[in-house]
Structure 1
Amino acid sequence: MPGRRRLLRVWSGAVTAALALALTGGGQASAADVDNARNPGFESGLGDWTCSAGSGTTVSSPVHSGSAALKAAPAGQDNARCAQTVAVRPGATYTLSAWVRGGYAYLGATGTGTTDVSTWTPDTAAWKQLSTTFTTGASTTSVTVYLHGWYGQAAYYADDVSVFGPDGGGGGDPAPGVPSAPGGLAVTGTTSSSVSLSWNTVPGATGYNVYRDGTEVTAVTGTSATATGLSAATSYSFQVTAANSAGESAKSATVTGTTAASGGGGGGTGVPKHAVTGYWQNFDNGATVQRISDVPAQYDIIAVAFADATATPGAVSFTLDSAGLGGYTADQFKADIRARQAAGKKVVVSVGGQNGTVSVSDPASAANFADSVHSLMRTYGFDGVDIDLENGLNATYMTQALRALSAKAGPSLVITMAPQTIDMQSTSNPYFQTALNIKDILTVVNMQYYNSGSMLGCDGKVYSQGSVDFLTALACIQLEGGLAPSQVGLGLPASTRGAGSGYVSPTVVNNALDCLTKGAGCGTFRPSRTYPDLRGAMTWSTNWDAASGNAWSNAVGPHVHALP
């Protein structure tokens, strides 16, 4: 959510289109295949590479292998693009890969003569392999391969770039061998319809294939995956193989995952079937200053923004901004929460925002998070917690934290989430993984459909924010990716002042709700089925809504409550 603590990020459709790429398992490599990249490990400095605006240099640490790696730092309007021209053969298929770490990193190829490709990863503290494939045109003899970062993000590192395929006359490194079988395969989470898995990295692998009961079900580039669309209370066996251009490894050891018994999803008893969530600002940023008692009755869930990190890893605290809210006292705040709850509403404390750098990254910090949130629930009477972290989330330990909180608070606990659009583009993203891991206790994910530029829909097409299609096609990813319809809500700004971009009129919000629940009011994108149990909508914020005469809640609220 924008406001005092909101980071505005704009993503171009050209960049986000990279998300549509899926790893294709390489077939058997030809004996003549080589790495056509020159100076792929940057052992000769920046030789054969050109970096924009002097953004690139070589470093001796960190490196993925050898004694050097690339470090490139975006600055201003420069995205730190480093590229080289690679000789290739016409009509041939190549596998492009690189190891990256640090800030946002992108890898791609242009001038292929067919379809140019790219792939990317958000910032990562460990080395991660990016990989994609391309086929050259009938007369293509060279392509440009590139790496770049993203504006305003940290420097990225890259090492061991490879363009494996038929020798184009400029390479010479031998083709890779078939990788070994992955080790460490484990079940990391289950819901009634999904099983999440992770395994160890295999050197030389460009991707991994996941098998369920002996049949390949998905291919990924990372070392985790979530199998979705499963039956409740059912055991499944899983194996994983590693792959590269030389072929596919033997299968890993088998693990068994058993889905939960409940066929639906969601915790938080007492939340209406269709609900409206509104963020309430515990600060004055120019919007209407409110007390909890001022929040209109159209809001079913009120998310108090925000709890703050403490010096204890993982722990959070909350202090009412009495001075900024016109002398609103803690006792009045607590009494207003109780009054709202007596009227059937839920009030949760939101953790995050732009400055909400709460780090839950190990068992100790997970326990601290659960203990501190539960303490706030007892102190103020909150019904639960909202996860709105924009600065990284560890799926393993946030899952631990929320399950520990659930054990303390019981089945009435309300857990909501407000990820950015980029966080829910793939089930492999930590935010999406966390949501799936806690599906049995999760109330609703209100993704922010704003401050994001263009994004991919579930049909692989790029949609621009500010349209019905943007809302419906992106919601479809969550609805078909394993979340129950009752766990999906549409998050929109209450006014043009509530966000840097992405505001749509309440009419557009209502059309999107109708499209998803009834198949009416759609734009060019039409979902393959309807989702009448869709939870509803969310807005940032009740304060900005009040500043506009409550136009958003007066229009969207009754529409949500009248859904089938």
Structure 2
Amino acid sequence: MPRPRRRRAAAWSAATALALSVAGLAAAPASAADVNNVRNAGFESGLSDWTCTAGSGTTVSSPVHSGSSALKATPAGQDDAQCTQAVAVKPNSTYILSAWVQGGYSFLGVTGTGTTDVSTWTPDTASWKQLSTTFTTGASTTSVTVYTHGWYGQAAYYADDVSVNGPDGGGGGDPAPTVPAAPTGLTVSGTTSSSVSLSWSPASGATGYNVYENGMKVTSATGTSATLTGLSPSTSYTFQVTATNAAGESAKSAAVTGTTASSGGGGGGGTGGSLPRHAVTGYWQNFNNGAKVQKISDVPSSYDIIAVAFADATSTPGAVTFNLDSAGLGGYTVDQFKADIKAKQAAGKKVVISIGGQNGTVSISDSASATNFANSVYSLMQTYGFDGVDIDLENGLNATYMTQALRALSAKAGSSLIITMAPQTIDMQSTSASYFQTALNIKDILTVVNTQYYNSGSMLGCDGKVYSQGSVDFLTALACIQLQGGLTPSQVGLGLPASTSAAGSGYVSPSVVDNALDCLTAGHNCGTFKPSKTYPDLRGAMTWSTNWDASSGNAWSNTVGAHVHALP
């Protein structure tokens, strides 16, 4: 089914955006006298002690994180489904605020601390995920307000096991946390000549995990996956994982062994094969939504990567297929489509199959669906000649299992595999977000992340300031987050609409894109924000779509494409 792409348009206020800049702090060990000061923390007594705006909240029996009930809150119109509770606390005390969430965009925070109010959040998540941060009360603070909320126009979120763990404020509450059980399901999800990727199942009550290599602790993680780098080729390593929370650390999990590939092997490289140093990506529409209809052969040569939009979900969890919309594309046949892909490749271009889009429903939520995804994408690569895959899941992804899926695909396809991503701006605001986690997890085989700098409203830059979309500052200050967050410059691209018709908001003229590229690569043509260093290896730019570009006389690719390829 044709999916008119684009995109969620959330009206982010500066105050909300600033609240999101408060990163989750490392939780300090709690004392024996600490308690959970939240009442009805697991919603076992319905909404008792909780107040939800506009009747947005209810309790459900499934899904639940523990016990028999959980909160379900549904945003509607201008209501973000906020649920609050006044929690008694002691002055001059430190507390750990945490909750388990699932579903749509989920936020957790506290106000009235008397010091610095804090919050944390996560994009859509298909499985339970723990949010956690800490706060300190002021000298006269005896009560704070804890809140959860979703986001306007997004799916319902679920919350369970809310905790304000610390000194007893005298208001009653639930028992203090206990040491979690050892994690289960530890597996090796991928290897290269210098790294091993691990994943495991969530441990109930855990706020974090420690990873051990050959009996020595080597890293910590907040999620259920980690990649160990700097390893020697053709070497076996033994790994274990523990779960942690305020009460302490669990016993070690069962051990698994991972063996790195030989120095000449491995399934990836992330260099993009024969891609130029600076590359332009364009989405090609496999449907007619008013933009100019094209064949692959019609796409201008200024596009180095062509992302075919989109694959379709099947009835098999995680599996995808592709159905050429021949009728909508004026009788374009499958044989012509395949031949045009080969011709583009002969000209040095890459053609990938894009998964997702605004209405895409592909879900990778367990090992079986991860395997189905890898197998089905590889089958499409063999059938149509695609060079790789683009991940454009705008309804959330699971970092653990998407990582498994892409590493399994890499093992099948080899080092020439192209992997691109097109997250929304909110998905790349923090390294703890699932999209950002996935990109970092597969950094050794990732080609480029082309973040969509549109349909987003105001967002935070890497300097903690709020910038409005549609400006050089918005592009440069937000790209800076990825450049400082662990991606290499060659894995960062700027995604923009090709015309005002291509997106609900955020269109900028091609000259603004060029200025942002100059600012990031050479430090000139910047706005008020200027990065602390330059990134000459920045990969380039992306647009939605080649069709909308063609509708505007290819003004975007003629200008931006030429500028990208002229970068030193």
TM value normalised by structure 1:
0.86
Q: Quick one: which amino acid aligns to residue 562 of structure 2? A: P
Determine helix, strand or coil for the equivalent of 1:349: strand
Superposition deviation, residue 561 in structure 1: 0.7
Superposition deviation, residue 167 in structure 1: 2.9
Determine helix, strand or coil for the equivalent of 2:520: helix
Q: Distance in 2 between matches of 1:199 and 1:152?
A: 32
Q: Which residue of 1 aligns with 2:34?
A: 33
Superposition deviation, residue 253 in structure 1: 7.5
Q: Which residue of 2 aligns with 1:104?
A: 105
Q: Distance in 1 between matches of 2:226 and 2:410?
A: 24
Superposition deviation, residue 430 in structure 1: 4.0
Determine helix, strand or coil for the equivalent of 2:130: strand
Superposition deviation, residue 545 in structure 1: 1.3
Q: Quick one: which amino acid aligns to residue 339 of structure 1? A: A
Q: Distance in 2 between matches of 1:410 and 1:29?
A: 47
> What pairs with 1:411-426 in structure 2 (closer than 5 Å)?
411-426=415-430
Structure 1 stretches of 5 or more lacking a match?
none
Paired residues of 1:457 and 1:470 also in contact (CA < 8 A): yes
Q: Distance in 1 between matches of 2:496 and 2:228?
A: 30
Paired residues of 1:449 and 1:465 also in contact (CA < 8 A): yes
Q: Which residue of 2 aligns with 1:452?
A: 456
Q: Which residue of 2 aligns with 1:339?
A: 343
Per the alignment, do residues 62 and 392 of structure 1 end up closer, same or farther by CA in structure 2, a change over 3 Å counting? Answer: closer
Q: Note if 1:269 corresponds to 2:269.
A: no
> What pairs with 1:364-379 in structure 2 (closer than 5 Å)?
365-379=369-383
Q: Which residue of 2 aligns with 1:79?
A: 80
1:111-162 Cα shifts (integer Å, max 9, x gaps): 2122111122334444333222111223322211112222233333333322
Paired residues of 1:426 and 1:432 also in contact (CA < 8 A): yes
* Greater Cα shift, 538-547 or 4-13: 4-13
> What pairs with 1:211-360 in structure 2 (closer than 5 Å)?
220-226=221-227, 230=230, 242-247=243-248, 261=263, 265-360=269-364
Q: Quick one: which amino acid aligns to residue 127 of structure 1? A: W
Structure 2 stretches of 5 or more lacking a match?
none
Q: Which residue of 2 aligns with 1:514?
A: 518
Paired residues of 2:6 and 2:455 also in contact (CA < 8 A): no
Superposition deviation, residue 69 in structure 1: 3.1
Per the alignment, do residues 10 and 233 of structure 1 end up closer, same or farther by CA in structure 2, a change over 3 Å counting? Answer: farther
Superposition deviation, residue 503 in structure 1: 1.7
Q: Quick one: which amino acid aligns to residue 323 of structure 2? A: T
Q: Distance in 2 between matches of 1:31 and 1:352?
A: 48
Q: Which residue of 2 aligns with 1:486?
A: 490
Q: Which residue of 1 aligns with 2:94?
A: 93
Q: Quick one: which amino acid aligns to residue 471 of structure 2? A: S
Superposition deviation, residue 446 in structure 1: 1.6
Q: Quick one: which amino acid aligns to residue 166 of structure 2? A: G
Q: Distance in 2 between matches of 1:231 and 1:480?
A: 23
Query: Match for 1:559 among 544, 557, 563?
Result: 563
TM value normalised by structure 2:
0.86
> What pairs with 1:391-540 in structure 2 (closer than 5 Å)?
391-540=395-544
Determine helix, strand or coil for the equivalent of 2:86: strand
Q: Quick one: which amino acid aligns to residue 416 of structure 1? A: T
Superposition deviation, residue 71 in structure 1: 2.6
RMSD value, Cα? 3.6
Per the alignment, do residues 227 and 461 of structure 1 end up closer, same or farther by CA in structure 2, a change over 3 Å counting? Answer: farther
Q: Distance in 2 between matches of 1:192 and 1:424?
A: 28
* Greater Cα shift, 251-260 or 377-386: 251-260
Q: Which residue of 1 aligns with 2:51?
A: 50
> What pairs with 1:102-141 in structure 2 (closer than 5 Å)?
102-141=103-142
Superposition deviation, residue 259 in structure 1: 7.0
1:439-478 Cα shifts (integer Å, max 9, x gaps): 4443322222222233344445444332333323333343
Paired residues of 1:70 and 1:158 also in contact (CA < 8 A): yes
Per the alignment, do residues 523 and 195 of structure 1 end up closer, same or farther by CA in structure 2, a change over 3 Å counting? Answer: farther
Q: Distance in 1 between matches of 2:512 and 2:193?
A: 33
* Deviating 4+ runs (over 6 angstroms): 211-218, 234-239, 250-260
Q: Distance in 2 between matches of 1:463 and 1:210?
A: 37
Equivalenced residue count is 562
Per the alignment, do residues 468 and 3 of structure 1 end up closer, same or farther by CA in structure 2, a change over 3 Å counting? Answer: farther
Q: Which residue of 2 aligns with 1:8?
A: 8
Q: Distance in 1 between matches of 2:23 and 2:258?
A: 25
Determine helix, strand or coil for the equivalent of 1:500: coil
Identity, % of aligned positions: 80
* Greater Cα shift, 204-213 or 267-276: 204-213
Q: Quick one: which amino acid aligns to residue 114 of structure 1? A: T
Per the alignment, do residues 516 and 258 of structure 1 end up closer, same or farther by CA in structure 2, a change over 3 Å counting? Answer: farther
Q: Quick one: which amino acid aligns to residue 74 of structure 1? A: P
